[in-house]
A = this chain, B = another copy of it.
Amino acid sequence: MANSFTEENYLKIIHNLSGPEGAEVSTNALAEGTATRAASVTDMLKKLAEKGLINYKKYQGVTLTEMGEKLALKIIRKHRLWEVFLVEKLGFGWDEVHDIAEELEHIPSDRLVDRLSAFLGNPQFDPHGDPIPDAKGNMPTADYLKLSEVEIGDKVLMMGVLDHETPFLQHLDRSGIMLGCRMEVREINDYDRSALVLIDDVKTLFISQEVSKNLLVQRL
């Protein structure tokens, strides 16, 4: 039997909450992530365990099985490829594509995904800088640091965002911060960790820690 949208969303959210080490995810965390109640989560976990997609023991939290992990990566691959399509081909802003991709990610057909990927030039990263797993589930690695972690004088490239919500992305747009731009940290205020940053060698900008904590960068 195929998997419902709901089941796919659970897998994706378990994957995301589970982090790179595949840690256990709690029922409550999932209730929060799926915007449902803990009781509903328990029901769904039983079903996913039944299907062999998660490891579940009562009261012990869940992890994805190998099969569940594969499926989660497939959904994430679709999500991110569609985001690339929407931005690169249809001209959407990076702040507009997440919600549409939430729907498109559930369209089945492996051939569709692979052809879409080829059409887009097999991109490695989505419009938010997130890595796109290949057809086999391999994620391009990229170990970035947060802008809030770099020091005065460091020169970095802006490589991704941690907050994917529209208001944050629009704030970056208004500030002229975009993927690939060059940043040089000029000052860091001890008091609130806000920073003065030179963008693309032309413009200086004040960036609050609130913002710099959500910017992924790479040292030059």
By beta carbon, the residue of chain B nearest A107 is B103
A108 to B112, CA, bound (A): 19
Query: Shortest beta-carbon distance, A98 to chain B, in Å?
Result: 12
User: How many copies of this chain does one complex carry?
Assistant: 2
The A77-105 residues at the B interface (CB cut-off 8 A) are 86, 89-92, 96, 100, 103-104
Residues in chain B near residue A89, CB distance under 8 A: 119
Answer yes or no: A189 CB below 8 A from chain B CBs.
no
Residues in chain B near residue A100, CB distance under 8 A: 107, 109, 112
Are B107 and A90 closer than 8 Å at their CB atoms?
Answer: no
Answer yes or no: A177 CB below 8 A from chain B CBs.
no
Band of interface residues on A: 10 to 19
Main secondary structure of the interface of A (DSSP, over half): helix
Query: Shortest beta-carbon distance, A128 to chain B, in Å?
Result: 18
Residues in chain B near residue A119, CB distance under 8 A: 89-90
Answer yes or no: A116 CB below 8 A from chain B CBs.
yes
A107 to B119, CA, bound (A): 21
Query: Shortest beta-carbon distance, A127 to chain B, in Å?
Result: 15
Are B115 and A91 closer than 8 Å at their CB atoms?
Answer: yes
Are B115 and A90 closer than 8 Å at their CB atoms?
Answer: yes
The answer, among B91, B104, B116, for a CB contact under 8 Å with A107, is: B104
The A105-157 residues at the B interface (CB cut-off 8 A) are 107-109, 111-112, 115-116, 119
Are A116 and B90 closer than 8 Å at their CB atoms?
Answer: yes
Residues in chain B near residue A108, CB distance under 8 A: 103
